[in-house]
Structure 1
Amino acid sequence: MTMYRCVGLTVKSDFDKKDAVIQDVLGVLCPLGIEVRVDAERMEGLSCAKEYAALRTNERIDLLLVIGGDGTILRAVRELTDFTVPIVSIDRGSVGFLTEIHSDDVKQALPALLNGEGALDERALLHVTVHRGKEVLFNGHVLNDAVISQGAIARLVDLSTTVEGEHLTTFHADGIIISTPTGSTAYSLAAGGPIVHPQLTATILTPLNPHSFSQKPLVIPGKQKVVVEVLPRPNRFMDIQLSLTLDGQTYLALENEDRVMTWMNGTTVKFLRHKKDMFFATLRSKLKWGERLED
């Protein structure tokens, strides 16, 4: 007897062979009497889209199935769920850190999760607000990271950074990545940041190509509030385009004296997995972490 009565289903827009994978998923769900609601916008044109009720934003479901990689999960977290609904991701790739089931294994692996044999993996979200004077430009959450970076013109920017009201430093750099432990294996890692276990409540500050060699990545308690202020640029550098990118998908243009605030406020997202903690196995399989380099 399944513990999930109503399941939402969304897909990566250009997922190859998604029709076949969706049919495999439906072939598991329907015999169990599970009500299925599909993301009609993303699944438009697929054969099954018209056969099931549409999944509405913030509609109450028991489980969200995501067919796609980490990027699709980030989008689904932002658009489709209220953070209390467990997520299971199905992908045919080999790089995603958040995916649980390979598309070839749906018929064997999915029933066990639906029958209550899985464990919840809870990940902390980073609360992000953007302020321009008294105006709030953005108020929301990210699962991976918030990235402040300059645009096409190769000029360093000055970012005054405080932690819990105490001045940390002014980064003279290409930008800064403010990351969650979940995001520590994404852009932050590529920029030289540390790998942080996702069960830790922490925030990682990773400067992008800082002018000073002493400005290394820093890990701080997640509940501490970070404020990054864009310092005024000389008139001759006003053509520099500065932006804030949230989870690699949402973009905001930043201006002088804009402030980006981040902290962890206890909001989490839950993933349903076969085993509770396989993080180190994931590091080995996805990043080949700790393996001997071959010539």
Structure 2
Amino acid sequence: MRKSVIVYNKANELAVSLYETMREWLENRGIAASGCDSHSCRTGEADPEAEFAVSIGGDGTFLSCARAVSHRPIPILPIHLGTFGFITEVTQNEWSEMLKLWLDGGLRIEERLVIDVKVWRGEHIAAQFTGVNDCVVSTVGSCKLIRLALSLGGFDAGHFLGDGLLLATPTGSTAYSLAAGGPIMVPNMAAMILTPICPFSLSWRPMVIPDTDQIVIKPDPGQKVDIQIAVDGQESHPLEKHDRVIITGRQGGVKIIKSNKRGFYEVVRSKLGWSGGPYA
């Protein structure tokens, strides 16, 4: 029997109801569906034999789903139940139509870049993550300036003073990075965005960099505040003064089953409320 995985929020009654309906729908077509709670599923936890995944919820549920299958990226169909949602293009009333189209080969897959994040402590890796949206180095629980040394593509890019540094994927360009003044990028682009968060110097500006460049961030040894790294706003790890955060881009780390009803530009226009309509 073919296999699939459904990631959903077990605390959401609508998501639970939709999960039960979808699981029955799939099983009637000879496809087993295993469920995973979006709040507890860990990186690489999904069934390794699953052919595709479905996320039921908002963008946060999709991020959990993407990490659950990150060990072996499989196509994900994001179903939107959230309050905003840039990634989740398929509405709750369209899921059966979209699933049937996907199973019949009528929908395309869009591959997107992810970031692999490693925290080096001396000669060993203290923590590692996969980010679909972004990685943020900032203070823990206080509103104080931090000092960070930055290297881009093997070159010294100087020292940063401010609230923090954010590195976003094109998928994450419409999330925290956008709120911090970063640009919007088309999701399948092969690039990353370095966005300073409230820099002390006005000369610091967001920068689009190639996905092939390695980014290294080091806390200043004389730092007097606690610093952490946060990935996708869902996973975090405290940093020590001699740690090195090394970030690299990886193409194809996420595969999204695209809706045939709307595209990225339409989603941006409607979600951000661009005035004038599509024909202005």
TM-score strictly above 0.5 = yes
Q: Which residue of 2 aligns with 1:192?
A: 181
Counterpart of 1:251 in structure 2: which amino acid? S
Alpha-carbon distance change, 61 to 284 in structure 1, aligned in 2, over 3 angstroms: same
Which residue, 242, 255, 258 being the options, matches 2:227?
242
Q: Which residue of 1 aligns with 2:49?
A: 60
| Counterpart secondary structure, 2:199 | coil
How many Å apart are 1:111 and its aligned residue?
A: 1.7
Alpha-carbon distance change, 37 to 205 in structure 1, aligned in 2, over 3 angstroms: same
Q: Which residue of 1 aligns with 2:167?
A: 178
Q: TM-score, normalised by structure 2?
A: 0.89
Which residue, 44, 49, 58 being the options, matches 1:69?
58
Alpha-carbon distance change, 42 to 288 in structure 1, aligned in 2, over 3 angstroms: closer
Q: Percent identity?
A: 32
Which structure 2 residue ranges, 5 or more long, are not aligned?
A: none
Structure 1 Cα separation of the partners of residues 132 and 93 of structure 2: 27
Which residue, 28, 33, 36 being the options, matches 1:36?
33
Residues 202-230 of structure 1, C-alpha deviations (whole Å, 9 max, x = no match): 11111110000010111110110111110
Structure 2 Cα separation of the partners of residues 269 and 159 of structure 1: 30
The 5 Å alignment of 1:181-260 reads: 181-233=170-222, 238=224, 240-260=225-245
Larger deviation, residues 4-13 vs 197-206: 4-13
How many Å apart are 1:7 and its aligned residue?
A: 1.5
| 1:266 pairs with 2:263 | no
| 1:18 pairs with 2:15 | yes
Structure 2 Cα separation of the partners of residues 290 and 242 of structure 1: 40
Q: Which residue of 2 aligns with 1:47?
A: none
Residues 248-269 of structure 1, C-alpha deviations (whole Å, 9 max, x = no match): 1111001212111111143421
Structure 2 Cα separation of the partners of residues 279 and 83 of structure 1: 25
Which residue, 149, 152, 158 being the options, matches 1:163?
152
Alpha-carbon distance change, 204 to 56 in structure 1, aligned in 2, over 3 angstroms: closer
| 1:148 pairs with 2:137 | yes
Q: Which residue of 2 aligns with 1:48?
A: none
Q: Which residue of 2 aligns with 1:127?
A: 116
| Counterpart secondary structure, 1:104 | coil
How many Å apart are 1:35 and its aligned residue?
A: 2.1
Structure 2 Cα separation of the partners of residues 59 and 187 of structure 1: 31
Q: Which consecutive segments of 4 or more residues in structure 1 shift more than 6 A?
A: none
Structure 2 Cα separation of the partners of residues 113 and 84 of structure 1: 17
How many Å apart are 1:102 and its aligned residue?
A: 1.4
Alpha-carbon distance change, 222 to 94 in structure 1, aligned in 2, over 3 angstroms: same
Q: TM-score, normalised by structure 1?
A: 0.85
Alpha-carbon distance change, 111 to 144 in structure 1, aligned in 2, over 3 angstroms: same
Question: What root-mean-square deviation, in Å, do the aligned CA atoms of Structure 1 and Structure 2 show?
Answer: 2.4
Which structure 1 residue ranges, 5 or more long, are not aligned?
A: 45-54
How many Å apart are 1:26 and its aligned residue?
A: 2.9
Q: Which residue of 1 aligns with 2:266?
A: 281
- Give the conservation status (yes or no) of the 8 Å contact 1:122–1:199: yes
How many Å apart are 1:56 and its aligned residue?
A: 5.5
Structure 1 Cα separation of the partners of residues 260 and 131 of structure 2: 24
How many Å apart are 1:290 and its aligned residue?
A: 5.3
| Counterpart secondary structure, 2:28 | helix
Larger deviation, residues 251-260 vs 206-215: 251-260
| 1:101 pairs with 2:90 | yes
Residues 15-72 of structure 1, C-alpha deviations (whole Å, 9 max, x = no match): 2322321233134313322222223x6699xxxxxxxxxx963521111111111111
Larger deviation, residues 244-253 vs 92-101: 92-101
